[in-house]
């Protein structure tokens, strides 16, 4: 079900990163107020962007279909968590950063999907 029915605000906040794969366009966005708050508190927005991308293509595609669900990504290396919401319409998905929490142990509200990133031990 598309809860926006053609009304998704594609200019929400500011665009931090965009990418495309599997025929879907993704944009990671947040508000200027949030960016200022993250900066004031010394939070790593680049690390948060990396955490989102680290979910990988399969998870991003799967989560994009679950409109409006909150997701918490806990990054043990960055020692922070990022709370995001996926908002999709057709083949376009906004990933909205709600907040960044400066620790790797967090409590989240009921119904929030939680994904923990761990140290990558593979090779290139």
The residue-averaged pLDDT of 18-37 equals 93
Closest CA to 120 of 71, 76, 69: 76
Structure confidence at residue 121 (pLDDT)? 54
Q: How far is CA 43 from CA 13, 74, 85, 90, 105, in A?
A: 18, 14, 19, 33, 15
Identify whether the C-beta of residue 95 lies closer than 8 Å to the C-beta of residue 12.
Answer: no
Structure confidence at residue 119 (pLDDT)? 64
The residue-averaged pLDDT of 31-48 equals 92
Share above pLDDT 70 across residues of the chain, in percent, rounded to a whole number: 89
Q: What is the pTM of this model?
A: 0.85
Domain boundaries, the chain: 14-117
The residue-averaged pLDDT of 23-33 equals 94
């Amino acid at each position: 079900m598309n809860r926006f029915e053609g009304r998704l605000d594609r200019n929400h906040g500011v665009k931090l990163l965009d990418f495309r794969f599997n025929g879907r366009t993704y944009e990671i966005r947040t508000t200027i107020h949030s960016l200022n708050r993250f900066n004031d508190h010394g939070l790593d927005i680049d690390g948060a962007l990396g955490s989102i991308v680290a979910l990988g293509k399969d998870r991003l595609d799967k989560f994009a279909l679950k409109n409006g669900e909150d997701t918490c990504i806990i990054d043990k290396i960055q020692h922070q968590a990022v709370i995001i919401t996926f908002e999709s319409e057709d083949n376009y998905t906004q990933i909205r950063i709600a907040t960044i929490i400066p620790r790797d142990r967090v409590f989240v509200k009921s119904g929030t999907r939680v994904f923990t990133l761990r140290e990558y031990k593979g090779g290139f």
